[in-house]
Amino acid sequence: MTGFDFSGDPDRVIHEPARLKIMAVLSVVESADFMYLMRETGLTRGNLSVQLTRLKDVGYIRISKEFVGKSPRTTASMTVVGRRAFDKYRAYLTDILRATSS
Amino acid sequence: MNEITKTQQRTRSYWYSDGIAEIVGGVAFVLIGLPLYAAARTGIEMLSTLPLISMILLFPLSARVVRYLKDRITHQRTGYVKYSRPPMSRQRKALIFSILIAISVAIIVISKSNWTLNGMLGKSILLGMGFGIAGTFAVRVWKMQMPRFFIDAATASGLVLALGFVGAGFIEGVGLLLSVLGVISAVIGMIVLCSYIRRHPKVPVETA
């Protein structure tokens, strides 16, 4: 018996691969800009914008805009709620792997 | 390593992806090491105070130079990442540790009234310092998954062993160690930077 609750659902917001990648990047830094996230996730501008908005709407990330010289810079950072959700999601995956390993 | 872990690893080591930190760090090492080496070789004690001035100026300045160059080169090509500062307790511990080491070396030098420290003690401190630097680079190889730092680690340990073998004094040894390490670090940084610029052309201004 592993004690894993198979009826429980993973966090659907993070479960989506593109959003999971965004959360993975933001989990190891304070913030990352739009260009970096686009390069790391391999998403198009439009798609990344949609995924960031989705994560922002549930309160997992914070988006801020600033000017560096004359260029605008949009950065995203993980909120406390987001970090908690990401840790919970990781724990969920670890549990499911442990429960199905043998 | 899965795709998510790889993404996190790449993000953690992004700071070193362009070689800028190595170039600036290398130049700083040379500016500290060269006057020390010159002081030991020529016997002009005054020269040994230059590294202290270099250190005082370089610590705040090098961070600014790295940030400026990254803004001009890296952030426009592959994006901007801000790293979390280590917790205050860890920063304080590191500061106390550095001060204690500096004071210990200063006390040893003063008590022996031999500023070049050409004895067994000087050689032992030099050996410890060299292996300490090598260890720092080795940790970077392991943590950042960047094998190129093995060159710095191997240089530091090889050089410090060679210096011990030829019987170099503390000041001369530290000077040579920092100078050679600095040059190697800066050269590697330049190669990495050239390859980075070639691989990543400038991207037009972002729109989110």
pLDDT band, residue B105 (cuts 50/70/90)? low
Q: Give the total number of structural domains in chain A.
A: 1
In chain A, which residues have their Cβ closer than 8 Å to the Cβ of B7?
21, 24-25, 40
Q: Give the total number of structural domains in chain B.
A: 1
Decide if B204 is inside a domain.
no
Strands (DSSP E) along chain A, which ranges?
A: 31-33, 61-68, 71-78
* Interchain contact, B80 vs A32, CB within 8 Å: yes
- Nearest-angstrom CA–CA distance, A32 and B82: 6
Using an 8 Å CB-CB cutoff, list residues of chain B that contact chain A.
Answer: 3-4, 7-8, 10-12, 14, 71, 75-76, 78-85, 203, 205-208
- Nearest-angstrom CA–CA distance, B71 and B78: 11
More confident residue, B98 or B137: B137
> Within a 13 Å sphere around the CA of B173, how many CA atoms are in the beta-carbon half?
32
Decide if A21 is inside a domain.
yes
How confident is the prediction along chain A (102 residues), in pLDDT tens digits per residue? 456 666 677 888 999 999 999 999 999 999 999 999 999 999 999 999 999 999 999 999 999 999 888 888 999 999 999 999 999 998 888 888 888 876
Decide if A85 is inside a domain.
yes
pLDDT band, residue B208 (cuts 50/70/90)? very low
What is the extent of the structural domain holding B111? 3-199
Provide ipTM, 2 decimals.
Answer: 0.84
Please give the model's pTM, rounded to 2 decimal places: 0.82
B206 min Cα distance to partner chain A (Å) = 7
What is the extent of the structural domain holding A42? 12-100
B106, pLDDT greater than 90? no
A17 min Cα distance to partner chain B (Å) = 9
Using an 8 Å CB-CB cutoff, list residues of chain A that contact chain B.
Answer: 20-21, 24-25, 27-40, 45, 49, 52, 65, 68, 71-75
Decide if B205 is inside a domain.
no
In this structure, what CATH number is given to the domain that contains residue A73? 1.10.10.10
A22 min Cα distance to partner chain B (Å) = 9
Decide if B207 is inside a domain.
no
pLDDT tens-place string over residues B9-41: 999 999 999 999 999 999 999 988 888 888 888
Please report the pLDDT score of residue B20 as a whole number: 96
Q: Are B174 and B126 in contact (CB under 8 A)?
A: yes
Please report the pLDDT score of residue B204 as a whole number: 67
Please report the pLDDT score of residue B109 as a whole number: 61
Decide if B182 is inside a domain.
yes
Which one of A43, A53, A55, A73 makes the best mutation probe of the B interface by having the most chain B beta carbons within 10 Å?
A73
User: Average pLDDT, stretch B151-171?
Assistant: 89
* Among the listed residues B35, B13, B34, the one whose alpha carbon sits nearest the alpha carbon of residue B22: B13
A4 min Cα distance to partner chain B (Å) = 23
The string of DSSP letters for A32-54 reads EEHHHHHHHHT--HHHHHHHHHH
Which of B8, B10, B80 minimises the CB distance to A73?
B80
B175, pLDDT greater than 50? yes
Decide if A95 is inside a domain.
yes
